[in-house]
Amino acid sequence: MNKKKFEISHLISQGAKLRGAGSDKVSTPWGVGSDNSNLIDLRVGMPDRENLPSLAFAKHISDILESGDVKALEYEYGSGDADLKAILSDPDYGFTDHSAIPDQFAFYNGSSGCMEAFCATFVDKDDVVIVEGPSFPGTVRAILRSEGFIREVGSDLEGASIGEIEEIYLDCVANDRTLKAIYTIPDFHNPLGRTMSLPRRKEIADFCQEREILVLEDTTYSSLYFDSPPPSSIYSISSGIGVLQMGTFSKTIATGLRLGWLHGTAKLIAALHKTRSDLGNVPFIQNAVSRFILSGEYDEHIVEMRSLYGVKCQNLCRSLDENCAEYIDYQIPGGGFYLWLKILGVSATDLVEKAWEGGLAFPDGNLFFQDPVKNENSIRLAFSGTPQDRLLEVGPILRRSFEKILD
């Protein structure tokens, strides 16, 4: 017998439903296309396309495949490339600001894979996880899949609010809830662009250590400073106690590499290995990345990218200041990919729509909050992947969009 209709709503897991599975609602704007070939797309934080190190990687990958080393094409069972782990553990290469042991690193499928592994290993149903509001929405999705309970804290110029963290902790104690972890992006935050101060890092490190609350420190943008590197990491301040550090090559090299890592004490890494079911990350990509770094090409590339992204940020800020100063409020970041703009006088949602009509795309700030009510009428502009000259067009388009709404 052939059924003409097969309902799946009752088959979808609760964790998947919390992430929107089974719903017709569009959950993300990142893949929305446009018929406008001249669109200025500031939706996604991508490395500069014209400066992807394609030729260098082609050579390193070719060398690996021609070497006859079959291990590069086999499962690595979570052990990871020895050379790459040694590189990450050595502070001279700039991936950590402290001495570490190679076996304190585990590789995953980009930062999203790291987040999934963290949640699978440490987050139980109804565990409370604190995130900054706003924060990267992919983080929220991973926590929801594990049926964790998200609590958002606001940020000031110093970083995540320690006062709000304390309030949530006391509320958890009073209601017999487990505050399991705090997720933070302390360096060139996505989407805020801010960098957490050293005193705030110490406050959070001390608070969490005393109460045995995990800290997941996302260092995705830490290497992408324009002039000065960020303060000491929370991991370094805590000597690694109770902290997992997350990193990725997606923003510094290329998103398609899908190579990220978690760094922690031996006990934390051992726990992560126990929950693996993917037989490891891609060995020949790990090997190619290690060769790219050891050759000195990575250092040259990252220095060039820091300068380029700094100029792009300056171009965007100049365009905004010259055309939209009375309509916006923002702080200039010291690195990373993003500008976070508070919109004055009109609805950010209306502005997104009008700008789209004018050939400019960017996300509404609501998308970066679990509770959209907390959004203060903001938008995010990702400048990293857009040509410099096109960034100068952003201000005029935005101004026309403001004027059309106010007319």
Distance (Å, rounded) from C-alpha 322 to C-alpha 316? 10
- Identity of the residue numbered 279: L
Higher pLDDT, residue 127 or 77: 127
| Mean pLDDT within 293-318 | 98
Q: Tell me the per-residue pLDDT of 169-211, one tens digit each, with 9 for 90 and over.
A: 999 999 999 999 999 999 999 999 999 999 999 999 999 999 9
With 80 as the cut, is the pLDDT of residue 3 above it?
no
* Structural tokens at position 70: 């079959």
> What pLDDT sits at residue 27?
47
Of 181, 305, 194, 308, the C-alpha closest to 250 is: 305
- What residue ranges define each of the domains in the chain, with the CATH number in brackets? 33-52+300-406 (3.90.1150.10), 69-297 (3.40.640.10)
Instruction: Give 121: exposed, middle or buried? Use CB within 10 Å, 0-12, 13-18, 19+.
Output: middle
| Mean pLDDT within 27-43 | 70
| Mean pLDDT within 217-245 | 98
Higher pLDDT, residue 24 or 217: 217
| pTM score | 0.93
Report the 3 state secondary structure along 293-342: HHCCHHHHHHHHHHHHHHHHHHHHHHHHHHHHHHHEECCCCCECCEEEEE
Of 273, 243, 338, 12, the C-alpha closest to 117 is: 273
Percentage, residues of the chain above pLDDT 90: 82
Distance of CA 128 to the CA centre of its chain: 20
> What pLDDT sits at residue 28?
45
> What pLDDT sits at residue 112?
92
Distance of CA 70 to the CA centre of its chain: 33
Cα dihedral 144→148→149→150 (10° resolution): -60
Sheet holding 149-153, edge to edge: 105-108, 260-263, 243-248, 214-218, 179-184, 128-132, 149-153
Q: Tell me the per-residue pLDDT of 232-280, one tens digit each, with 9 for 90 and over.
A: 999 999 999 999 999 999 999 999 999 999 999 999 999 999 999 888 8
Distance (Å, rounded) from C-alpha 178 to C-alpha 213? 9
- In a 13 Å sphere around the CA of 175, the CA atoms on its Cβ side amount to 12
- In a 13 Å sphere around the CA of 24, the CA atoms on its Cβ side amount to 0
> What pLDDT sits at residue 279?
85
> What pLDDT sits at residue 265?
97
Mean predicted lDDT score pLDDT of the chain: 93
Distance (Å, rounded) from C-alpha 349 to C-alpha 362? 10
With 60 as the cut, is the pLDDT of residue 95 above it?
yes
Tokens 């958002």: give the residue.
152
